[in-house]
Homo-oligomer: A and B are copies of this chain.
Amino acid sequence: VGPEALLLWKSKSTFTSFGVFCLQMGWGDLGAFGEPSKETPNLDQMASEGMLFLDFYTANPLCSPSRAALLTGRLPVRNGFYTTNAHARNAYTPQDIVGGIPDSELLLPELLKKAGYVNKIIGKWHLGHRPQFHPLKHGFDEWFGSPNCHFGPFDNRALPNIPVYRDWEMIGRYYEDFKIDLKTGEANLTQIYLQEALDFISKQQASQQPFFLYWAIDATHAPVYASKHFLGTSQRGLYGDAVREIDDSIGKILKHLQNLGISENTFVFFTSDNGAALISAPKQGGSNGRFLCGKQTTFEGGMREPAIAWWPGRIPAGGVSHQLGNVMDLFTTSLSLAGLQPPSDRQIDGIDLLPAILQGKLIDRPIFYYRGNEMMAVRVGLYKAHYWTWSNSWEEYSKGIDFCPGQNVSGVTTHTQEEHTTLPLLFHLGRDPGEKYPLSFASDEYQRAMERISVVVQQHQATMVPGEPQLNVCDKAVMNWSPPGCEKLGKCLKPPKSDPRKCFWPH
């Protein structure tokens, strides 16, 4: 379930900053990526002043694991953000999840702290909501936002409303203290998150302290909202209104950096945590352009992301990169910008993108597409091999849950789990970005490509040591009943008796 994020960050020596926005926006939601109403002038300008990544991926087709991967530089199957309850299942951190980010994982802000950075997360955390998983226990110095998405409103009996934190304590709950009008779609949350970002940047600039800002707004996640000023302004309906507000906010943040005179010391990166949720389309969901399917799937629509790097004076304006990139690279790249080395005691999957960004180099590296602990597919160069295909089960599909609406590629968008490990389905993403035309198994091209891919996969699987799965156990007792600070607000709720059980992950 996908919120949004911006990292802003300054290197010790050059007062450089770094930023990522992650949101549940699809590849096709930006004008620069062909959205037909072209309503993202600020992101399009960010792209024209910076570098557009056309082959950039998230680490998982849904929220929590992607965010864990972004902050650890490691695949979810390594950092524990996966489930083994059933085969090839997507799992995340709903309110009743018992697990969260393990203490043994080293998060980007923990490492940056050692280099003098002040780290802030604004918005959705999503790496666990129990006390031991609090972001301030994992390297962040400040937090304004919530542990989960803004689902609701809930009755505070079967389910509590999601709390909003300032640093260590809850300061209210969504719907109760932070209004979201589901009828009109009005909410001021993006404006609140924007103001938090501007204030933090001003404060850091005034104190000349390098910072890392992770702006993880959640406005394009269903239920979609926008503030009054943006409601009804998009050709695309409420979802478009939310996109416009985010676009406008990003424009204001970049402008703020420029006005404060620190834009040339600021590295900003925009990307998304998973593909658009087509199950919510068209009113509450975005677009993955021509790519197949959406969030929850390991087709391109589920994991290929819009991505823009911006650093005036350092990144050549109007650049375009075909470097295969991944959100995990932002971990390694950030460390590199800070003059730090990634930890050497564990496998890091992210690579340093600076040679691609600053010198236009192309680094040869694969992209892995996982569902749970199953490697569903791998991309090497322009080839993508599917070892397993599955959109979702017939049972779910028959209930109207469709991750590929209007799309049906025979033998590819399957409703049973199909194993292709002996003879993978192979696509050439240059000629066929929509994954509609599998290559003939008998062709020379298939043979040549699979020889290359097999080596990569063998290496990957031979050295894979999965972490302990964190997303197996659920318990209603661990929900956000009584977050720290609830007493002051009179908002403590009584948890039910503990009753741990296996979480059910349907797809």
A interface, CB within 8 angstroms of B: 28, 31, 33-38, 48, 52, 54-55, 234-237, 239-240, 281-283, 287, 289-290, 292, 320, 322, 382, 405-409, 428-434, 436-437
Contacts and interface: CB of A to CB of B under 8 A. Distances in A.
Given A240-B430, A430-B240, A290 B28 contact: yes
21 contacts: A28-B289, A28-B290, A34-B289, A36-B54, A36-B290, A37-B322, A37-B430, A38-B52, A48-B48, A235-B431, A236-B430, A236-B431, A237-B430, A237-B431, A283-B431, A287-B434, A290-B290, A292-B406, A406-B408, A406-B434, A408-B408
Instruction: List 3 tightest A-B contacts by C-beta distance, closest first.
Output: A34-B34, A235-B430, A406-B436
B28 A54 contact: no
Decide if the interface of chain A is mainly helix, strand, loop or mixed.
loop
A438 to B, nearest CB: 11
B236 A282 contact: no
A35 B55 CA distance: 12
Contacts of A283: 431
B436 A282 contact: yes
A313 B323 CA distance: 36
Contact of A33 (B34, B240, B433): B34
Contacts of A52: 38
Contacts of A431: 235-237, 239-240, 282-283
A383 to B, nearest CB: 11
Given A37-B54, A281-B432, 4 more contacts: A31-B320, A37-B322, A282-B428, A282-B436
Contacts of A37: 54, 322, 430, 433
Nearest to A237: B431
Contacts of A54: 36-38
Nearest to A427: B282
B237 A405 contact: no
Nearest to A28: B290
Nearest to A30: B34
Contacts of A34: 28, 33-35, 289-290
A297 to B, nearest CB: 14
Contact of A436 (B55, B234, B405, B430): B405
Contact of A36 (B35, B433, B437): B433
Contacts of A405: 436-437
Contacts of A287: 290, 433-434
Contacts of A239: 431
Contacts of A429: 36
- Which of A36, A407, A409 is the most central at the interface, judged by chain B CB atoms within 10 Å of its CB? A36
Contact of A432 (B282, B320, B428): B282
Contact of A428 (B31, B237, B320, B437): B237
A175 to B, nearest CB: 26
Contacts of A289: 28, 34, 36, 289-290
